[in-house]
Structure 1
Amino acid sequence: MKITAIRTLVVNARMRNWILVKVETDQPGLYGWGEATLEWKTRSVVGAIEDLAVLLIGRNPLQVERCWQIMHRQYFWRGGITNMSAISGIDQALWDIKGKDAGKPVCELLGGPVRDSLRLYDHLGGGNLEGMYTTGSPENFAELARQSVAKGFTAFKAMPIPVCEMIESPAVLKKAAKCVQAMREAVGDEIDIMVDLHARTSPAAAIQFGRLLGDYNLYWYEEPCWPEDVDALKEVKDALPMPIATGERLTGRWEFMELFEKRAVHIIQPDVSHCGGISEVRRIAAMAEAYLMPVACHNPQGPVSTASSIHVGFATPNYLIQEVVRNDVPWRNDILGAPLAIEGGSVLPPTAPGLGIDINEKEAAKYPFQPEVTMAFERKDGSVADW
């Protein structure tokens, strides 16, 4: 069996362009899908996939690890978020082919399910009822929280820190804390709440804000500062009682090493569409297990990334919970041959061969590439802000 082509299908989904990767073979009807979505770098990733395709045409797609090593090592320049996202999409597609060829779901090829169901969590964004780009009021957060629970979710994540405010302001932090309070009061103590800071805060502000949230029993406190500064993350971790999570912006096991060695966080969040695909996230998870750290893959992308993450979750002993997105576009499931079997707050083990999904390319073509929404956020004083 040989790889005959590697193509990309870009699907515009409002905030993101989903970069879907199709690996085709010389066996009639046998192909695989992966996802390499990287918002605001879409054309760069598509170009990187074209560069990698040159290395794999004519190779055996069933030799997944050999193909991974070729993609990672055969060019002098390695790594980087763009290149690793390209590798991630192709790697997922190769696992999809391998599963289809064997007639088994990918999670079976990874050792079989280690759990009977996988818990899911919802994403409320910034609590704005009209979209995800601005931060809503406590009342908005409470309403979205109630809607999520009504859909069957027992956990959700929100981003209550406003982008445009000067974060090192106690007044701003207190207002954001009121949003968390409103969510907790809306859903009670039985529902788990995660707070995502998007690395907008300095370590000092993250600690100050975290102390304001002590009564709300957070499931985790995500990206309190930039993951490049591991010592800063550890400073926040050591100062607060709630679990600290990070990892979505890191690629490859090498970028996670210092987090593990310094025990700078409690929970890691590699992204299967950025960190190196199914092959690499499994290695990262195994490293985390040695440090007693759970894994919860980051996943605000499209349906192929979701499917890949679910297979990893079922086959990984130290997997905690899976992020899913349901409100980005109303036609999310329309581009699939069959929708993912996600009902409310959990999902059962996949049983279809490969990743268990297919893309309706004719339907997907209705949403061609468009430049992503520019996130040109500024603070009130005109300085550039992290979104």
Structure 2
Amino acid sequence: MKKTYSRKEFLRNTLIASATPMLASPAFAAHGRRRPSGLPDKYENLIDLHGQFDAPVIIDSITLLRVENKFFIRVRSTDGAEGIVIDNGRLSHLYPIMKEKVIPFFIGKDARDMETLVDEVYAYESNYKLAGMAFWNCVAQVEMGVLDMLGKVAGKSVGAILGKVRRRRIPVYISSLTRETTPEQEVEWLAQRLQETGAQAVKLKIGGRMSKNADAFPGRTDNLIPLARKSFGDDVAIYVDSNGSYDAPKAIEVGRLLEAHGIGFYEEPCPFEDHEATRQVAEALAVPIAGGEQDSNLSMFEWMIKNNAFQLVQPDLYYNGGFIRCLRVAKMAAAVGINVTPHSPKADAQSVCMLHFASVIANSGPHQEFYGHPMKHESWYAPHFDVTEGHIIVPDGYGLGITYDADFIAKAKLV
């Protein structure tokens, strides 16, 4: 007989690893979830940068570098301090926005004012007319470079600059990014990765990706979910991501299958722009709904949280404009007992921002996202990130804690 799971069992099986007590919040109760009357000011300052630096740290230059097919943002102060961050793969398309609309605003500014600067850049030369992920992705990378620089000036990690470092071992889930496998193939390689990494959680792709109710191929989702639960057992947390594959009725139908097999969260059941459809799905199902990867509007995060459309929030540190804006989202979520697990299907130097973010927020989810397939470690940066006993260690160096090979960066061309 097929085993079914109550909501209590969902939370016990998939969320027990969380260190935060917020999981018992009424925000997780299906049907009639608590509707909060108010949330923290989404533009409230959360970091006392002036208290950490006695003297101004003036941004002298922000340079976009390219080495082979990789982009980097280098920030320098008038005193010669330097920060550097790797691009998330988007600047090959977005560099005109970065160079012409974002970088000029920050030159000559005091880096200690970063919390207000990330708001003011939006109005600079009517940048709000470029609103969305493309614009905020550029702002994020400037902010990350500045914070890396500030950490090096202060002799602190970015986590310590942002607040109290609560944890240095980050539990992760193994994230699959493919829909091209059969259910049998998918379960086989993920089972191997679970064994190799010691991870206790995995995320599967279901549906067809913004596919108007179509599966990747007929029957894949219906067969994958029960096979995964049978193969991995009840002690492994299974999460799923549909990438907006369904309208609300179909998403609810698929959600019943997920409920029957104890799935820990259901990510983006509906197209991300259809906020009301997502809310309807959350209202109908017991399985927690996750989302926020594509969002870069703090007011929309506020609406989704207030209206209980999300029971797990997933801002992307790049897409949503950086650490500061994602900390604001985390604080709104914490106010109603909701955890945060950023979208971050990375395994190289790009993953360092997620690690620092997860190290400081009080409401970090039970597992953070990490790219599932093993990756070849490149020699041009250190440290490398390996999953051991289901965890990754947050770098303890200054700033972001990533060191780039000087000879590699010396080959860079200005963009």
User: Post-superposition shift, 1:314?
Assistant: 1.1
Provide the residue aligned with 1:266 in structure 2.
311
Per-residue CA deviations over 1:61-120 (Å, capped at 9, x if unaligned) read 343224323423323132311110000111111111111111011111222122353211
**Residue equivalent to 2:88:** 37
Matched, 1:47 2:92: no
Q: 1:241 aligns with which of 282, 286, 296?
A: 286
- 1:90 pairs with 2:142: yes
After superposition, what is the alpha-carbon deviation per residue over 1:350-369, rounded to whole angstroms, capped at 9, x for unaligned? 4211111133365479999x
What is the correspondence of 1:174-213 to structure 2 with a 5 Å cutoff?
174-213=219-258
State the distance in 1 between where 2:354 and 2:155 align. Answer: 19
Deviation for aligned residue 1:265:
1.5
SS in 2 for 1:88: helix
1:3 corresponding residue in structure 2? 59
Q: CA deviation at 1:287?
A: 0.9
The alignment partner of 1:95 has SS state of: helix
CA positional deviation for 1:24: 2.2
Unaligned runs of 5+ in 2: 1-56
SS of residue matched to 1:21: strand
Displacement of 1:302 in angstroms is: 6.4
Mapped to 1, the partners of 2:325 and 2:351 lie a distance apart of: 16
1:77 counterpart SS class? helix
**Cα RMSD (Å) of the superposition?**
2.8
**Distance change >3 Å, CA 261–CA 11, structure 1 → 2:** farther
Overall identity of the aligned pairs, in %: 24
Mapped contact 2:172–2:392 kept (Cα < 8 A): yes
CA distance 1:93–1:339, shift in 2 (3 Å): same
Measure the CA separation in 2 of the matches of 1:303 and 1:187.
27
Alpha-carbon distance between aligned partners in 2 of 1:137 and 1:361, rounded to the nearest angstrom: 44
**Counterpart AA for 1:157:** K
Structure 1 range deviating more: 276-285 or 353-362 = 353-362
Pick from 207, 215, 225: which aligns with 1:161?
A: 207
CA distance in 2, matches of 1:84, 1:256: 15
Q: What secondary structure, in the 3-state scheme, does the structure 1 residue paired with 2:127 have?
A: coil
1:67 corresponds, among 117, 133, 137, to 117
Residue equivalent to 2:298: 253
- Corresponding residue SS for 1:48: helix
DSSP 3-state at the match of 2:359: helix
Structure 2 match to 1:100:
152
Unmatched 5+ residue regions in structure 1? 127-133, 369-387
CA distance in 2, matches of 1:335, 1:187: 36
Structure 1 counterpart of 2:191, which letter? R
Q: How has the CA–CA distance of structure 1 residues 19 and 70 changed in structure 2, closer, same or farther, with 3 Å as cutoff?
A: farther
How much does 1:48 deviate?
A: 1.6
1:124-135 alignment to 2 at 5 Å? 124-126=176-178, 134-135=179-180
Aligned residue number for residue 184 of structure 2: 139
Post-superposition shift, 1:260? 1.4
- Does the CA contact (< 8 Å) of 1:120 and 1:324 recur in 2? yes
Moved over 4 A (4+): 163-166, 361-368
TM-score after normalising by structure 1 = 0.82
What amino acid does structure 1 have at the position aligned with 2:59? I
Q: 1:322 aligned to 368, 378, 392, which one?
A: 368
Bigger Cα displacement from structure 2, 175-184 vs 103-112: 175-184
Q: Distance in 1 between matches of 2:386 and 2:149?
A: 20
**Structure 1 163/257 Cα, relative in aligned 2: closer, same or farther at 3 Å?**
closer
2:205 partner letter: M
Secondary structure class of the residue paired with 2:340: coil
Question: What is the CA distance between 1:298 and its match in structure 2?
Answer: 0.3
The letter for the 2-side match of 1:59 is: K
The equivalences for 1:279-358 within 5 A come to 279-301=324-346, 303-320=348-365, 321-325=367-371, 327=373, 330-331=376-377, 333-340=378-385, 342-358=387-403
Partner of 1:373: none
Letter paired with 1:82:
A
1:261, distance to aligned residue in structure 2 (A): 1.8
Which whole-Å deviations, capped at 9, do the CAs of 1:135-178 have from their partners, x for residues lacking one? 21111111122122112211111213245987358x93x43121
Q: How many residues align?
A: 352
C-alpha contact (below 8 Å) 2:383/2:395 kept by paired residues:
no
2:348, 2:383 → 1: CA distance? Answer: 11
Is the 1:38–1:85 Cα contact (8 Å) retained in structure 2? no
Q: Is the 8 A contact 1:113 1:349 kept in 2?
A: no
